[in-house]
Structure 1
């Protein structure tokens, strides 16, 4: 079981099946907001869909291929963050995140990504952390920029979001860079 207190207001917890209703309610409350950038929102229509997602993340954690955590702010689930993929051969962790609409602007995801990046380098002994965000998603792109990640390039038409493709911007951080700046 993974559980970390980042500070007095913020914790990360590996999701369990009994989190499905809270996760679904958070998704549902921010549905139109999340839909702009996340392609899975329209297929998450019931608590069972959230339960299936959690089962998938639990298997990924067990297999050491990924790690998805619920982000809790002041005791309430406000979003998720993850190592979407853990590439053990190349020592690369791929971070993803989303936050409910009502919780924006509190520095939550910046603190979470800072913690996950540090965890990837210190606990997992990885060499690289990779974050990809849609070119037009300025809020998501501000996180790696704020943390000193290097903008490495753009992937054209990297993701299909309902009725159109979006380009992704790739941000990278290397272990030695992270250690030098922290």
Structure 2
């Protein structure tokens, strides 16, 4: 079982099947807000859909291809974060995240993204971490900016979002840069 303590209030743990009802509850409660920027909400209509996500994530974790974690804030599951993809050939991990609306604005996701970056670069020994976010999603884009990631560019029409394409801003952090950024 993967469990990663961040601070006294916050930790990450590997998503388990027993988390399905809570994850679906958060998804459903925050559906309108999440749907503005995330493309999978129309495919997550039941707890069974959430269980399929968890099963797929467990299979990819076993293969070393991804890591889906529950964000535990003060003992409560508050959202999901992790590596949507771990590409060993490129030595790169791609962070993805979402947080229930009631937990936003507390600095949770910045601390989570920092911990995931630490884990990828320092513990896993990967060379790069990327975070991608829709250009218009300022809240999500502020996270890599706060952590000192470099904005590397924009991928045009990177994702189909229900009825339109959105461009993605790409942020990267290299292992060689992370130590100097952390000490600032």
TM-score range, shorter chain: over 0.9
Task: Give the drift of 1:181.
Answer: 2.0
TM-superposed deviation, 1:42: 1.4
Structure 1 partner of 2:117: 117
Q: Deviations over 1:50-73 (max 9, x none)?
A: 000000110110010000100011
How is 1:1-182 mapped onto 2 (pairs within 5 angstroms)?
A: 1-182=1-182
TM-score, normalising length: structure 2: 0.97
* Distance (whole Å) between structure 2 residues aligned to residue 95 and residue 4 of structure 1: 15
The count of corresponding residues between Structure 1 and Structure 2 is 182
Post-superposition CA distance 1:133-161 (Å, at most 9, x none): 00000000000000000001000000000
SS at match of 1:6: strand
Q: Once the two structures are superposed, what CA deviation does each residue of 1:2-57 show, in whole Å capped at 9, x if it has no partner? A: 01111111010101111100000010010101000111111111110100000011
CA distance in 2, matches of 1:19, 1:133: 26
Give how far 1:89 is off. 1.0
| Unmatched 5+ stretches in structure 2 | none
Q: CA RMSD in A?
A: 0.6
Compute the TM-score of the two structures, normalised by the length of structure 1. 0.99
Structure 1, unmatched stretches of 5+, are: none
- Distance in 1 (alpha carbons) for counterparts of 2:137 and 2:99: 13
SS, match of residue 61 in structure 2: helix
Instruction: State the alpha-carbon separation in 2 of the partners of residues 181 and 30 from structure 1.
Output: 33
